[in-house]
Amino acid sequence: MKMAETIRLVTSAATKARVFNQALIALLLVLGMTGCAHQRASTATANHCPKCGATLVHVRPGMTTIEDIREFAAHSKLPDRDQIVVDGWMHPGTYCPNGCYEVLETYKP
């Protein structure tokens, strides 16, 4: 393989990686997933509250049902649990049932 061919292959691979990264960022913006990627990654994989160890609940649009939200609120120690049970709505995010941890997320349409 000649030096020019090697350079062309390396450039091509680097270009593909850059284009892939840009496409991925564009897709995340289109889906409305904004916010700190580090924060989302740490909360998306965490199953237990870092403060008290309770099992965290992840509220996601289109994935978490009204019944799920009401059941979580009814058995939680959140100060506004009665209103959440009535409304059946919580802001998307990750919540500790003891109320000691929450990370809110924003999704744009």
CA distances from 77 to 35, 47, 97, 98 (A): 27, 18, 6, 5
Q: The tokens of 29 are what?
A: 């913006």
The pTM of the full predicted model, rounded to 2 decimals, is: 0.57
Nearest CA-CA partner of 80 in 99, 105, 103: 99
**Where is pLDDT greater, at 11 or 79?**
79
d(Cα 9, Cα 25) in Å, to the nearest integer?
Answer: 24
pLDDT of residue 34: 46
pLDDT in tens, 29-43: 555 554 444 444 444
Among 16-25, 31-40, 68-77, top mean pLDDT goes to 68-77
Domain-by-domain residue ranges, the chain? 1-30, 36-107
Report whether pLDDT(90) > 60. yes
Instruction: Give the pLDDT mean for 45-66.
Output: 89
Instruction: Give the pLDDT mean for 5-34.
Output: 57
